[in-house]
């Protein structure tokens, strides 16, 4: 009886509904990589369509593809295709869906892109408004002067 159930579940399909209404049919074992989805299934066994309210269709598509293809080689090239905005939205998706491998990959990619760049550059990238007054900034630069030597000018 248990064996039958597991055989059935490995080919069972599930539908994921992105925030903009786009639907994705995925195999159960793919969906299970998203721990959030797994928890959903655990709670309500017979569910067929799971809403993913925080993730746009275009990003959910990328996430699903990642789960299907992930390996050392794929991961190394994966992040290169996306711009900084997409990387962050993908990271939010990976975080919400609780996919640790993807989350790690994206965090590393973002860190790599801001490494060795000046604060001005990083602010631009993340769209951060500088709400430090010039005095406050000067004070911080002095306090951590050891960290501010030899910085890339962009």
> What is the smallest separation between the CB atom of 117 and another protein, expressed in angstroms?
9
Binders of another protein among residues 116 to 145 (CB under 8 A) are 116, 119, 122-123, 126-132, 137, 140-141, 144
DSSP string, 38-70: HHHHHH-TT--EEE-TTS-HHHHHHHHHHHHH-
Applying CB under 8 A, the span of 24-32, 44-52, 57-65, 114-122 interacting with another protein comes to 114-122
Three-state DSSP state, 21: coil
> What is the smallest separation between the CB atom of 43 and another protein, expressed in angstroms?
23
Residues 6+ apart with CB under 8 A from 79: 87, 105, 106, 108, 109, 112
User: Of 121, 71, 63, 54, which is closest to residue 87 (Cα–Cα)?
Assistant: 63
Binders of another protein among residues 94 to 113 (CB under 8 A) are 95, 103, 107-108, 110-112
Q: How many residues bind another protein (CB under 8 A)?
A: 35
Ramachandran area for residue 101 (φ above 0: left; ψ -120 to 50: alpha; else beta): alpha
72 counts as binding another protein under rule CB under 8 A: no
User: Of 116, 104, 57, 58, which is closest to residue 79 (Cα–Cα)?
Assistant: 104
Residue number, 13 or 114, with CB nearest to another protein: 114
Contacting positions for another protein (CB under 8 A): 83, 85, 88-89, 91-92, 95, 103, 107-108, 110-112, 114-116, 119, 122-123, 126-132, 137, 140-141, 144, 146-149, 151
């Amino acid at each position: 009886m248990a064996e039958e159930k597991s055989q059935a579940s490995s080919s069972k399909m599930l539908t994921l509904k992105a925030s903009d209404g786009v639907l994705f049919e995925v195999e159960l074992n793919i969906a299970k990589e998203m721990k959030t989805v797994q928890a959903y299934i655990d709670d309500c066994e017979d569910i067929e369509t799971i809403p993913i309210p925080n993730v746009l269709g275009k990003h959910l598509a990328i996430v699903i593809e990642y789960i299907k293809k992930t390996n050392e080689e794929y991961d190394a090239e994966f992040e290169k295709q996306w711009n900084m905005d997409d990387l962050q939205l993908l990271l939010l998706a990976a975080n919400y869906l609780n996919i640790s491998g993807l989350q790690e990959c994206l965090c590393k990619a973002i860190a790599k892109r801001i490494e060795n760049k000046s604060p001005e550059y990083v602010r631009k990238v993340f769209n951060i408004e500088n709400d430090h007054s010039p005095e406050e900034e000067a004070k911080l630069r002095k306090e951590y002067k050891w960290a501010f030597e030899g910085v890339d000018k962009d």
